[in-house]
């Protein structure tokens, strides 16, 4: 009994795409070759998405997995395996798509609700499997439905809540479901529509203004807001204007609020009734007419010198019956100057500031726009000085000048001059600075500055400031006569000079052997100095250099020269005498002795 599997196939009847609710058959067929005609038992197993869904044993070469009513949950990859006589063979996989979904079922927790409450809904598909996308809709007459979307990964039902708002009366709700199959969305048909009736907990409030919504400044206006409620508990009435709460009551059906009307009271008023989550509003527009216009404060002058006379006048057109007052603005509170429409005073610098006037009629107080008054004291004669303190500057260095006026009402305009040329104009309170970076060696122009403000006395000018320009030392050199070798005891002249530099110049000459020694120092109003050393000694041998400096505080060093002190001529003769005379005597004695011996 020899057999072999040729093929194992899986098929779907009527097709791989089946409508939801239709009958569907998954057929597994084995094609087997046998050596003789003998009976063979076959074990058929069918899998969906890797999970076993059907298994049977048959001596036939076909097996059917019948699904009487196909649902979207039956969509998936199907595969079968046939086993017989210790041999097994799988089929290829086949994808089955059950199109369409069952109609979802929608239920509401309540059929009747109050405004401000919520409607709780449940949408389910008992015959479908997750994941599913649920969409809930709230439907009102003559308005676009509101939707809420919920994704359920593990459930075939979902719940949602919708708030019941003011104006809702009869509401309808439904739901539909979508699922994703191979990156495509498939939607169910809409569920049954569920009807929910809405009852009002209270009626829309009524808002009135007495005596009228059109009144005049100074009149008293009274607002009344009322409603009719089914249940008094937790009812609240609120009166607002521009989001500001003016008054409120609880557990009452009527709210009252009154005030003396002003122009600022014009606008829209809002009466709001709240109970739980329910809220209803009514609006009323109120127009307050002007009783009299704002006063206007005028001044005889806005800028004036101290000790001058200033007159302030307050007016409001043809209205004469108002009570007037003139005040000066102050950060700690306005200072009342006079209860009158006119004020005349002689001013000083302390009167600088802002002034207003007020008018009062029938309890209504109105304020004018502020008028700025500036009182000026004249500037004093400015002083011009150098920031460093000394009236000098090193050539090549910047020069900082400061111009200061001890008295005068700011702002003060300072003008700097170099000679007669304007160099800078600065506006400041009491002083100004100027930087001159263009200092030249032979610059003879003096500096001055002007100061002026808005006082009619005009400009004041400082004294002229002359500056000394200090030229730094350049190119120091040192020479000597004689140069190089000098006889002991002789006189030597040293000359230290510079090519450029402002006087006085401090000259210093140093000798350097094992250490440096200052041997000469002198300050001269010249570009050179001569040092005559009368007697040179052996210890004066060494290297000499000179250093020059002036008020620029820069030391300039010369190249070094070498001096060697040698023996004088007479010193050499003495030394020769001490050596040659004994030598001559010795030679004579030797000659005598030689002649004596020869003669003998």
- Tens of pLDDT along 440-477? 777 777 899 999 998 988 899 999 988 888 888 888 99
The answer to whether residue 484 scores a pLDDT higher than 60 is yes
397: pLDDT strictly greater than 90: no
Query: What is the C-alpha separation between 163 and 171, in angstroms, rounded?
Result: 11
| 3-state secondary structure string across 472-516 | CCEEEEEEEECCCEEECCCCEEEEEEEEECCCCEEEEEEEECCCE
The arithmetic mean of pLDDT across residues 96-122, rounded, is: 89
The contacts of residue 44 (CB under 8 Å, 6+ apart) are 28, 30, 54, 55, 56, 57, 58, 63, 80, 81, 82
Going by the DSSP 8-state scheme, the letter that residue 368 receives in this structure is P
Note whether 224 and 239 are within 8 A (CB): no
What is the C-alpha separation between 12 and 8, in angstroms, rounded?
Answer: 14
Report the pLDDT value the prediction gives residue 320, as an integer from 0 to 100.
67
Best CA proximity match to 54, nearest among 42, 66, 38, 62: 66
- Are 313 and 297 spatial neighbours (Cβ–Cβ below 8 Å)? yes
Taking the C-alpha atoms of residue 256 and residue 209, their distance in angstroms, rounded to an integer, is 10
Please give the model's pTM, rounded to 2 decimal places: 0.48
Lowest mean pLDDT among 156-170, 358-372, 384-398: 384-398
Angle, CA 403 vertex, CA 399 and CA 406 arms, to 5°: 150
- The answer to whether the CB of 395 falls within 8 A of the CB of 441 is yes
Above pLDDT 70, what percent of the chain? Answer: 97
User: What count of other Cβ atoms lies within 10 Å of the Cβ of residue 352?
Assistant: 16
21: pLDDT confidence band, cut at 50, 70 and 90? confident
What is the mean predicted confidence (pLDDT) over 368-385? 92
Q: Which of 321, 350, 354, 355 is nearest to 338 (CA)?
A: 355
Tell me the pLDDT band of 507, cut-offs 50, 70 and 90.
very high
Average pLDDT over residues 147-161: 94
Whether pLDDT at 513 is above 70: yes
pLDDT at residue 573, rounded to an integer: 62
The CA dihedral of 222, 228, 232, 234, to the nearest 10 degrees, is -70
Section 544-552 average pLDDT: 89
What is the model's pLDDT at position 600?
Answer: 66
CA distance 45 to 90: 9
Q: Is the per-residue pLDDT at 154 higher than 70?
A: yes
Average pLDDT over residues 73-95: 91
Q: What is the mean pLDDT of residues 80-99?
A: 91
* Residue 545 token pair: 């250099």
Give residue 248's pLDDT band: very low, low, confident or very high (50, 70, 90).
very high
**Contact assessment for residue 477 and residue 559, using Cβ atoms and an 8 Å cutoff:** yes
The tokens for 530 are 């001569």
Distance, C-alpha 367 to centroid of its chain: 39
Q: Which residue has the tokens 């730094």?
A: 472
How far is residue 339 from each of residues 281, 348, 554, measured CA to CA in Å?
47, 22, 74
pLDDT tens column, 203-233: 889 999 998 888 888 889 999 999 988 777 8
Q: Where are the alpha helices (DSSP H) in 189-245?
A: none
């Amino acid at each position: 009994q020899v057999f072999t599997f040729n093929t194992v196939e899986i098929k779907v009847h009527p097709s791989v795409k089946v409508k939801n609710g239709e009958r569907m058959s998954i057929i597994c067929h084995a094609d087997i070759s046998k050596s003789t005609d003998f009976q063979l038992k076959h074990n058929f197993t069918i899998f969906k998405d890797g999970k076993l869904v059907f298994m049977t044993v048959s001596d036939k070469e076909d097996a059917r997995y019948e699904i009487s009513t196909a649902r979207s949950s039956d969509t998936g990859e199907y595969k079968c395996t046939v086993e017989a006589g210790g041999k097994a063979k799988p089929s290829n996989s086949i994808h089955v798509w059950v199109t369409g979904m069952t109609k979802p079922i929608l239920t509401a927790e309540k059929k009747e609700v109050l405004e401000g409450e919520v409607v709780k809904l449940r949408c389910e598909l008992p015959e479908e499997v997750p994941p599913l996308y649920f969409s809930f809709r709230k439907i009102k007459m003559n308005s676009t439905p509101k939707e809420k979307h919920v994704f359920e990964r593990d459930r075939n039902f979902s719940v949602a809540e919708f708030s019941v708002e003011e104006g809702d009366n009869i509401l309808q709700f439904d739901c539909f479901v979508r699922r994703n199959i191979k990156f495509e969305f498939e939607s169910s048909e809409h569920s049954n529509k569920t009807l929910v009736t809405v009852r009002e907990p209270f009626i829309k409030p009524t808002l009135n203004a007495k005596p009228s919504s059109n009144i005049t400044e100074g009149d008293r206006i009274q607002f009344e807001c009322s409603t009719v409620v089914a249940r008094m508990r937790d009812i609240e009435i609120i009166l607002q204007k521009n989001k500001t709460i003016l008054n409120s009551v609880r557990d009452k059906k009527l709210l009252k609020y009154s005030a003396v009307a002003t122009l600022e009271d014009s606008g829209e008023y809002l009466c709001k009734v709240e109970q739980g989550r329910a809220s209803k509003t009514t609006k009323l527009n109120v127009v307050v007419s002007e009783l009299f216009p704002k006063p206007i404060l005028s001044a005889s002058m806005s800028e004036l010198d101290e000790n001058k006379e200033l007159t302030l006048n307050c007016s409001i057109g043809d209205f004469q019956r108002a009570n007037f007052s003139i005040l000066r603005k102050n950060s700690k509170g306005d200072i009342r100057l006079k209860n009158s429409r006119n004020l005349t005073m002689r001013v000083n610098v302390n009167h600088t500031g802002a002034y207003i006037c007020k008018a009062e009629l029938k309890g209504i107080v109105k304020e004018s726009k502020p008028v700025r008054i500036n009182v000026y004291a004249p500037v004093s004669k400015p002083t011009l000085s150098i920031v460093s303190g000394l009236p000098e500057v090193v050539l090549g260095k910047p020069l900082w000048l400061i111009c200061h006026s001890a008295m005068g009402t700011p702002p003060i305009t300072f003008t700097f001059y170099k000679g007669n040329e304007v160099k800078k104009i600065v506006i400041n309170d009491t002083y100004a600075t100027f930087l001159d970076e263009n200092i030249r060696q032979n610059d003879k122009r003096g500096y001055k500055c002007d100061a002026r403000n808005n006082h009619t006395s005009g400009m004041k000018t400082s004294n002229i400031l002359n500056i000394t320009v200090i030229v730094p030392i350049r190119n120091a050199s040192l020479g000597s006569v004689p140069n190089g070798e000098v006889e002991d005891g002789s006189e030597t002249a040293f000359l230290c000079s510079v090519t450029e530099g402002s006087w006085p110049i401090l000259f210093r000459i140093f000798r350097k052997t094992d250490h440096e020694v200052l041997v000469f120092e002198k300050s001269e109003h010249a570009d050179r100095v001569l040092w005559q050393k009368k007697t040179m000694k052996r210890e004066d041998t060494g290297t000499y250099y000179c250093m020059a400096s002036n008020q620029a505080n820069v030391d300039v060093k010369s190249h070094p020269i070498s001096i060697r002190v040698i023996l004088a001529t007479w010193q050499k003769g003495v030394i020769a005498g001490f050596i040659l005379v004994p030598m001559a005597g010795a030679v004579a004695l030797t000659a005598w002795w030689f002649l004596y011996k020869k003669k003998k």
